[in-house]
Chains A and B, each alone.
Chain A
């Protein structure tokens, strides 16, 4: 009766039939989550976004009215501007710093383990804690600005956190501090995966070390870089905790971000329709950027044969 382990149609079919029940049942939670919690909520939110719901849901249909209102909303437009500035700065800074840290640590330095621990520990903290610490450090009266004054630079200004134009940059500083270590860890495992032969060959050819990094190593780190980029991008879209903790979106609405806008309109200002429209816009942006990357990656993986 050992047809199950023999190749060929008959055995395979019987094995498949035996597979079905237990495996399907076991995957029910996953199926439920995907269909209800993911697809279902997306459709629900999309439906609400074309209605005129405010505090209570309304099953009417108003077409794109909420979206039009959304893009006439000053606060929303400001949040988009902020997230764009924040996103670019955050991703570039984290990638650059993380890459540099990884490269420098890879130079067979002493106390490598301690250094790695130091650079990565911020990532173990919550964004709320990070925001609160940096809020304290950047406090205009008692933080770094005051230290500068005491050191003699009486005219020094580092009150970004209460400055309308500069508040966003404080969030950049705090979150870059938190997430650069993550990029470093990813880059380091990528670097460690590079064959020793490459280094030897480069040295025999007399190529200076920094050139090797730029022209040979960096392209080879493509996979690690794209993983890091995707993770950072998701963090940018999600940024909420750090903003709430650090500036509460202020001063005023100077450091407003889309995630906070949506939460405020869902709960505080009770405008479900508008908030849902904003959510769909946010979702579309994410999918527009992540889906192609994902597609390319799975294509490459399928070709390479790796899972």
Chain B
């Protein structure tokens, strides 16, 4: 091996190095394969798809499947495309994100600076709650929401997402605030600040990084959710993921694979775009344990 104490320089082309690149390239191909197949299939006309050449580039590419997916694919009884699902998802994601982040921030702030009695225990149980399988809570939640007239409604699904997002958001903000110097807080208290004043005027403005991470995590997690939307959103507000599954897995007659793939891409556009734009922030969210499984 080369000398130890040289300044950092890219090592030379040893067989080991080529093995490293070989492995990484093969892995990259494996990871990119589905994306490639998705894209290529979505612009092929059905005649080419029936040829069974999964990896071949399209001979006569067309955007017709995309149009069909957006506005005329059949999700169960209606044939209105997946655009309804898109707007439903937007209507679900925006309030859920805002609400869950607001509550998570207040919780984190109260837990790390004020520490009322019993809050530690509540927080520990909240954290355990993140591991509870959803199925345990589904039936009682359905009954409760039905009593409140919120079952199968937009406010209902927003409330559900807020509840389920609370552990992760609280943890995220609590860890962030715990890393801030406590002298700031003490000084603000001496200056006469109360609970809300310190939060709104001091802590919140300093919270931009954690809020960015929280937004990324929540938008991705809630947009990609399937089960909660399936159970609680009601037929008028089904999120895009549920409608996507309806389009693809409940078709009679010939399956239009190009339309299916176009619909899949459309459904994944928002979180993928967010991922590609946010880069480092996305990873930061993962590293801080704030991942929505």
Contact = CB atoms under 8 A, between A and B. Distances in A.
Contact of A283 (B132, B249, B293): B132
Nearest to A24: B116
Interface string A202-243: 011000010000000000000000010001001101101100
A104 B289 contact: no
Contacts of B282: 120, 124
A124 to B, nearest CB: 4
Interface in A17-66: 19-20, 22-24, 26-27, 29-31, 33-34, 36-42, 44-45, 48, 57
Interface string A82-98: 00000000000000010
Interface string B132-168: 1111111111011000000000000000000100100
Given A104-B20, A126-B267, A186-B287, A132 B248 contact: yes
Measured as residues with beta carbon below 8 angstroms from the partner, the interface class of chain B is 35 or more
Interface of B: 1, 4-5, 8, 10-11, 16-17, 20-21, 23-24, 27-28, 30-35, 37-38, 41, 49-50, 52-55, 103, 106-107, 109-111, 114-116, 119, 122-123, 125-141, 143-144, 163, 166, 170, 175, 178-179, 186, 189-190, 194-196, 220, 223-227, 231, 241, 244-245, 248-249, 257, 260-261, 264, 267-268, 271-272, 274-276, 279, 282-283, 286-287, 289, 291, 293
B24 A105 contact: yes
A189 interface: yes
Interface in A119-171: 119-122, 124-130, 132-137, 141-144, 146-147, 149-150
A81 interface: no
A177 B245 contact: no
Interface centre among B132, B194, B261 (most CB of A within 10 A): B132
Contacts of B140: 40-41, 44-45
A121 B125 CA distance: 32
Given A30-B166, A259-B135, A101 B226 contact: no
Contacts of A36: 144
Interface in A253-270: 259, 262-263, 266-267
B41 A136 contact: yes
Nearest to B272: A124
Nearest to B103: A29
A contact patch SS? helix
Question: Shortest 6 CB-CB distances between A and B: which pairs?
Answer: A22-B195, A126-B224, A124-B275, A146-B52, A41-B140, A44-B140
Nearest to B186: A5
B227 A241 contact: yes
A305 B194 CA distance: 29
Contacts of A5: 186, 189-190
A37 B137 contact: yes
A30 B170 contact: yes
B136 A22 contact: no
A181 B41 CA distance: 24
B293 A238 contact: yes
Contact of B139 (A48, A287, A290): A48
A105 to B, nearest CB: 7
A147 B52 contact: yes
Contact of A132 (B11, B139, B260, B293): B260
B267 A129 contact: yes
